[in-house]
Chains A and B, each alone.
Chain A
Amino acid sequence: MATLTDVRPAGTKQLDGSTPRRRIVARPAAWLVWGAVIFFFVNLLGVIGSVIVSSFGQRWFDTWVPDGYTTKWYGQAWSEFALLQVITVTLEVSLLVVALSLVIGVPAAYVLARRSFPGKRIIYLVFLLPILMPPITYGIPLATVLYKFGLAGHLSGVVLANLVPSVPFVILTMTPFIEQIDPRIESAARMCGAGLRSVFLSVLAPLLLPGILASAILVLVRTVGMFELTFLTAGPDSQTLVVALYYSMSAAGIRAQQSVDAMAVIYTSMMLVLLVVALRYVNPTQLVARVKEEPQP
């Protein structure tokens, strides 16, 4: 994994910028590649589209499209699954996780970016571990411990469990960002008599704001979509949308398929709104990992 501060040869950008745009129509190999991409997208569209179409369908059995269209499933899903409460919980959990992980993560990222001290590598590795491990492996012991202390089964348990991957994520996205800021700015502020607190609040915070915003949005998207940890720790009244969706799906047959689809569409549109917001501030690649794409010339 590279950091955001990778230095690339200075000539690369100019060469890239001056070459004409790549032709799209080319050799058979290119056709094959584009064919595969288009096939993937057609199927993806089918997967998402069939959920959306089904949620508006009156009845849909053995035909290409439903018999008629209606919006009644949304009303039904809204009342049957108590979606207002579920969405409120989802927002509460996500915002709490974002706020707490920033408060805990940013100072740690600052120290890790600026200082060298004995044991730094080990500490960095410990922060990396929760991201590398699959949530189920540490989620089950974590849920056991949280239940032991009576924290799981309600909101606090869900928030605590979701913090486990979020705090390291904030640290890992913020560290390279802080490294980019010239330390001389802080030294200058120190020389002018600023204490640590005022250095943080009036010098670093404004400079870090774009980075903080980006990692906050990434944590938000990941938390709303996080299934495993929430699933393992949530009680009946602390389910987030994705967990409620899972339960309604695994109890299929009791309710109409379409009302489950309607709930899935509500979840999808919530995620898409978040995604549109996120993409205004961050590079698409950052949503999956901490690797920066080629800088835009």
Chain B
Amino acid sequence: MTSPPTAPPAGRPRSPRAHWQHRLAERGIDRQLWLLVPALLFVVLLFLYPFFYGLGLSFQPTKGGPFSDYARFFGDAYERDTIWITLRIALPAAVLNVVASVPIAYRMRGRFRGKRLITILLVVPITLGTVLTAQGLLNFLGPTGWFNRVLLALHLADEPVRLIHNYWGVFFSLIITGFPFAFLLVLSYLSGIDPTLERAAATLGAGWWQRFRTITLPLLMPGLATTFCLTFVLAFSVFPSAVLVGNPAGETRVISIAAYQAAYEQYDYPYASAIAVIMGVVELVIIALVLAARSRLYTGSTGGKG
């Protein structure tokens, strides 16, 4: 590794070994590629091997045929519904995060005083993570929390609104951690669009809505699709907030809770692996759909860097 890759002298190779080295080096394979080995070894051992091990395990249930754990999951309504519950939380949250980001990012592109401050403030909830957000939401949205106090004081509600230990608690926690994430991505995609295009349209007499709809939005769409995928992945794997601010036995029993319970409460690893596989498949299907739609969009040079 310490010496530079040896290129055999021009002319006839001295030995068959040197000959092969030369042939491989012409195709870009030489000793420098050894630098890649630790990372590859690592990915294979800690990601691919466990993944396939889990996949194999899911077909070796503790009792029954190879597919009986999958049959068990889809046969039991309590388990099967977790897919639907997860999607019902994750999809609206991801859509809202992306859709709300667009007008705000559109307004905030370009430079103005305090922009860096706003981006820094937005990073705070992302770094704090879902566990702390859950703790804050329990205090803030609880029946005697500040949010309900304001509603009561303004006579917007007659009695405290129930916002925690149900669907809405989880939904709000996904907005608080997911919106800044989506916003920062959309903002950077928007800043990647050449502003002269819109100025050209403005000189031709297009109003702001026309400019947005026919120029900026089509260029931004691939970026929005990517943002949606990343936000959806975050929302889909919601776990701590579904347990802490949700109702983990009923309304917000998301699929990751089902997988966790199978693995760590029933110690049924094959079943837990089966649920994890189902979870991955459902998620990949939705992402594949979005990415397939995205591939039909324009992804040229001045587009948002989607």
Contact = CB atoms under 8 A, between A and B. Distances in A.
**A and B held together in a complex:** yes
Interface of A: 1-2, 6, 8-9, 11-12, 15-16, 19, 21-22, 24, 29-30, 32-34, 36-37, 40-41, 43-44, 46-51, 54, 61-62, 64, 103-105, 107-108, 110-112, 115-118, 123, 126-127, 129-130, 132-138, 140-146, 160-161, 163-164, 167-168, 171, 190, 195-197, 221, 225, 227-228, 231, 242, 245-246, 249-250, 260-261, 264, 267-268, 271-272, 274-275, 279, 284-285, 287-289, 291-294
Given A16-B110, A167-B39, A245 B188 contact: no
Contacts of B170: none
A105 B146 contact: no
B219 interface: no
A136 B46 CA distance: 14
B34 to A, nearest CB: 9
Q: Secondary structure of the A side of the interface?
A: helix
B127 A141 contact: no
B124 interface: yes
A163 B36 contact: no
A249 B3 contact: no
Interface stretch (B14-22, B76-84, B234-242): B234-242
Q: Secondary structure of the B side of the interface?
A: helix
30 contacts: A6-B192, A16-B110, A21-B111, A22-B112, A47-B176, A48-B128, A50-B140, A117-B29, A123-B40, A129-B47, A130-B47, A134-B236, A137-B280, A141-B50, A163-B46, A195-B3, A197-B2, A225-B129, A227-B129, A242-B131, A264-B132, A267-B132, A271-B132, A275-B124, A284-B122, A285-B184, A288-B123, A288-B126, A293-B187, A293-B191
A145 B50 contact: yes
Nearest to A110: B35
A196 B276 contact: no
A15 B195 contact: yes
B4 A118 contact: no
B173 to A, nearest CB: 9
Given A36-B100, A289-B230, A136 B239 contact: yes
Contacts of B279: 134, 136-137
Interface string B243-279: 1100000000000100110010000010011001001
Given A134-B233, A141-B276, A285-B119, A12 B195 contact: yes
Contact of B305 (A12, A137, A245, A291): A291
B123 A51 contact: no
B230 to A, nearest CB: 7
Contacts of A61: 144
Contacts, number: 285
B167 interface: no
Interface of B: 1-4, 27-29, 32-33, 35-36, 38-40, 42-43, 46-51, 53-55, 57, 100, 103-104, 107, 110-113, 116, 118-137, 139-140, 144-147, 149, 176, 179-181, 184-185, 187-189, 191-192, 194-196, 226, 230, 233-234, 236-237, 239-240, 243-244, 256, 259-260, 263, 269, 272-273, 276, 279-280, 283, 302, 305-306
B179 A134 contact: no
A287 B123 contact: yes
Given A136-B256, A164-B47, A48 B136 contact: yes
B104 A36 contact: yes
